[in-house]
Chain A
């Protein structure tokens, strides 16, 4: 299994530009999570999906952030317009719901975003 795949691994952009981060979860997993990691705030859950439907987006910082999951094998996190304070490492994770046991989250390698 290839694990969770994220692209790009690194993104450098200028303030005001649109940024799109991509994630391919592990095949068969039905939960997908987007996290943001910064030195100041640590690891924060932004949003998570179940069967492609957003369940909890309370962690999305503001309207400039949006996430979609058009199908079970692909999700995007978009920032428009981007700002320097959005600079962080963004992680995607996926898990498989099991009725009777814990659902481990598998993390991707992350996308390091730098907004100049």
Chain B
């Protein structure tokens, strides 16, 4: 079984500042890792994914995440945020042999002018 912990429920940040949203996971098997974004009143949209290979993955809207196997972490980063990045961000994990995706509780990113 897998589990996901998002360490921050809310992250306020000023526009053009860098941001990091933290995610830790646990699993007894190999996993795929994801970050999804949910804008108000919308469904979830895939931001980026780690399947294998390079531990630094780049996604849409300038976001990137780094897979750290020893620390079982998959933190999301963006060097300079925009007002439009205000949304809820979900870290998720799935065993490579299955279809059941486990989502974290979400981190609400609030970008201030």
Contacts and interface: CB of A to CB of B under 8 A. Distances in A.
A93 B90 CA distance: 15
Range, interface on chain B: 10 to 19
Given A43-B90, A102-B32, A102-B51, A107 B45 contact: yes
- Main SS at interface, chain A: strand
A91 B43 contact: yes
Contacts of A42: 103-106
Contacts of A55: 99
Interface string A34-67: 0000000011010010100001100000000000
A101 B51 CA distance: 9
Contacts of B41: 109-110
A112 to B, nearest CB: 8
A4 B102 CA distance: 20
Interface string A91-107: 10101000001111101
B43 A107 contact: yes
Which of B44, B51, B90, B102 is most buried by chain A, counting CB atoms within 10 A of its CB? B44
Contacts of A110: 41-43
Interface centre among B51, B101, B103, B105, by most chain A C-beta atoms within 10 angstroms, is B101
Given A91-B44, A102-B49, 12 more contacts: A45-B101, A45-B102, A48-B100, A56-B100, A95-B99, A102-B51, A105-B101, A107-B45, A109-B41, A109-B42, A110-B41, A110-B42
Interface of B: 32, 41-46, 49, 51, 90, 99-106
20 contacts: A4-B43, A31-B99, A42-B106, A43-B44, A43-B103, A45-B100, A50-B99, A91-B44, A101-B51, A102-B51, A104-B46, A104-B49, A105-B46, A105-B101, A107-B45, A109-B41, A109-B42, A109-B43, A110-B42, A110-B43
